[in-house]
Amino acid sequence: MKQKHLIIVGSGWAGMKLVRELKKYPHETLKITLISDITTFRYSAALYRAATGNKEHEAIIPLSEILSDNPHISFVKETITHINRAKKVISTKDGMKFHYDYAVLALGMVTSYFGIPGIDQYSYSIKTASELHHFRAHLHRELIEDKTLDKSYNVIGAGPTGVELAAALTSYIKIIAKKHKLPSSKLKINLIEAQKRVLPISNEKASKKTLQRLRKLKVKVMLNQKVELQTPDYLQVNGAQIPTSTVIWTAGVTNNPFYKKNEAQFSFNPRGKVIVNQHLMVDDAVYVIGDNADTPYSGLGLTAVDNAAFVFKDLKRQLRGSKRRPPYKPLVPATAIPAGKKWAVFQYRNFVFTGPIASFIRSMADLIAYADIMGYKKALRTWLTSEEKEEKCQVCKASFTRS
Ligand SMILES: Cc1cc2nc3c(=O)[nH]c(=O)nc-3n(C[C@H](O)[C@H](O)[C@H](O)COP(=O)(O)OP(=O)(O)OC[C@H]3O[C@@H](n4cnc5c(N)ncnc54)[C@H](O)[C@@H]3O)c2cc1C
């Protein structure tokens, strides 16, 4: 049988799960190329932890580490810019061209600031390694240079990331203030949301419980509030100015710009996601999976992983020439969203509970998610060290050594 060429684009949840599934697939029949614009896998569920004192490695994991036991994958660091579906060719920013028999596009979302003036310039984000460094450096620089806490710390967007981050900041800022020998009694953390409740995608009960929890942690939750403008000194929300130089934007994402650039090759739903058939494909050779695909629960890591597991089975059937190809059946995801130490809100369909058991479930879900990408041995290593702390700030480092 002639060897086919599979191109997987994107080293995120969907792309890396598929790479993992294909690890044992006979490479004599399938040549696999992984293309990504970064050389890491971002475990986004742990980014808020890496932003608040934990080791960066739990959220940003080098591909070389993940792929070290997978010699048949060729990795290319490139940004793809065009696809010619008629000729089955993908082109990159640096002018490389790749011919494929099958392609899987798993490009994920990008940040959107909804055109709000100043937000793109002055706010912080925690999605990438460099954004994490930038944010953490800012927190410590303020303590060193101003010798005081910021007037307020503002997290925009009360979705899962906003909730997790605002809750984690309540203890992290106090810890670093103490290391800098500064008082933290005036700490103000605001969580700002345009909709009328926190966790707008969860059900009302989950939302209410989370609101109570955040209030207990002394996070000021500001609902029905529209961010209008940011300057270096303040954030304007519903006409009022909040003095601050710390704003973290977690509110908006939009579909990967690659699709807009290639819009003649795809069809879109009203939210800009790519319409796929029952096999998550746009034609006989190209799959679109993860956050970019118009599937019922797209936008979650769990869905991206589930898409990839399906593609693995579907591809195998195609390569075998099987006539039986069952359609994709979306998995109803369970969510466990943490807010502070040993507390999370768990939801599966309309069943909701909160507390330490939900937090434990979340921790187990992290282990399973790591294993989906790199197998249990490496996953366990990463998971077991996930509570370790890491600081680049000299003052905090010195305090680590002393304690
Ligand atoms: C801060 C944060 C926290 C989150 N927490 C959770 C959570 O706790 N649980 C949960 O289920 N979901 C969570 N999510 C959502 C989850 O991260 C996404 O649903 C998931 O990452 C989608 O997987 P994906 O493979 O589609 O895209 P991604 O994981 O985003 O991967 C996309 C990959 O494609 C690469 N890429 C992009 N464009 C190009 C290009 N043109 N050329 C080459 N490569 C390219 C990117 O660098 C990346 O490697 C969170 C998201 C964020 C931002």
Mean pLDDT across the stretch 370-379? 96
For the beta carbon of residue 266, count every other beta carbon within 10 angstroms: 20
Phi first, then psi: give them for residue 7, nearest 5 degrees: -110, 125
Assigned domain for 369 exists: yes
pLDDT over 70 at 4, yes or no: yes
For 214-258, what is each residue's pLDDT tens digit? 999 999 999 999 999 999 999 999 999 999 999 999 998 999 999
| 220 and 298 housed in the same domain | no
> Which atom of ligand 1 is the closest one to the Cα of 11?
49
pLDDT over 90 at 397, yes or no: no
**How far is the C-alpha of 23 from the C-alpha of 248, rounded, in Å?**
38
CA nearest ligand 1 atom 52, residue: 44
The pLDDT, as a whole number, for residue 400 is: 57
Phi first, then psi: give them for residue 223, nearest 5 degrees: -100, 165
| 325 and 375 housed in the same domain | no
| 312 and 187 housed in the same domain | no
The pLDDT, as a whole number, for residue 294 is: 98
| 340 and 232 housed in the same domain | yes
> Which atom of ligand 1 is the closest one to the Cα of 108?
27
| 155 and 132 housed in the same domain | yes
Which residue reads 């006989």 in tokens? 284
CA nearest ligand 1 atom 33, residue: 10
Best residue among 107, 156, 332 to mutate for probing ligand 1's pocket (most ligand atoms within 8 Å of CB) is 107
Mean pLDDT across the stretch 388-402? 81
Assigned domain for 192 exists: yes
The residue that leads in pLDDT, 331 or 398, is 331
Choosing from 301, 332, 363, the residue where a domain stops is 332
Assigned domain for 66 exists: no
What domain range includes position 390? 119-251+335-402
pTM over 0.85: yes
Best residue among 36, 43, 44 to mutate for probing ligand 1's pocket (most ligand atoms within 8 Å of CB) is 44
The percentage of the chain sitting over the pLDDT mark of 70, rounded to a whole number, equals 99
For 120-140, what is each residue's pLDDT tens digit? 999 999 999 999 999 999 999
CA nearest ligand 1 atom 38, residue: 107
The pLDDT, as a whole number, for residue 399 is: 72
Query: Does the CB atom of residue 290 touch ligand 1 within 6 A?
Result: yes
| 272 and 375 housed in the same domain | no
Assigned domain for 244 exists: yes
Tally of structural domains, the chain: 2
| 89 and 169 housed in the same domain | no
E strand or H helix at 367: helix 356-384
| 26 and 125 housed in the same domain | no
We report the CATH number of the domain holding residue 97 as 3.50.50.60
Residue 289 CA to ligand 1 center (angstroms) comes to 11
| 202 and 236 housed in the same domain | yes
For 263, the token pair is 């819009």
Contact 242, 224 (CB under 8 A): no
Choosing from 314, 332, 350, the residue where a domain stops is 332
| 171 and 222 housed in the same domain | yes
| 305 and 387 housed in the same domain | no
Q: Report which of 246, 226, 223, 250 is spatially closest to residue 234, judged by C-alpha positions.
A: 246
Assigned domain for 140 exists: yes
Q: Report which of 149, 128, 192, 127 is spatially closest to residue 138, judged by C-alpha positions.
A: 149
State the alpha helices, DSSP H only, in 180-236.
Answer: 204-216
Query: Does the CB atom of residue 35 touch ligand 1 within 6 A?
Result: yes
Query: Does the CB atom of residue 291 touch ligand 1 within 6 A?
Result: yes
Assigned domain for 381 exists: yes
The pLDDT, as a whole number, for residue 403 is: 43
What does pLDDT average to over the chain? 96
pLDDT over 80 at 401, yes or no: no
Choosing from 288, 312, 332, the residue where a domain stops is 332
Assigned domain for 46 exists: no
CA geometry: angle at 23 spanning 266 and 330, to 5°?
Answer: 45
Question: Which DSSP symbol is given to 246?
Answer: E
Assigned domain for 54 exists: no
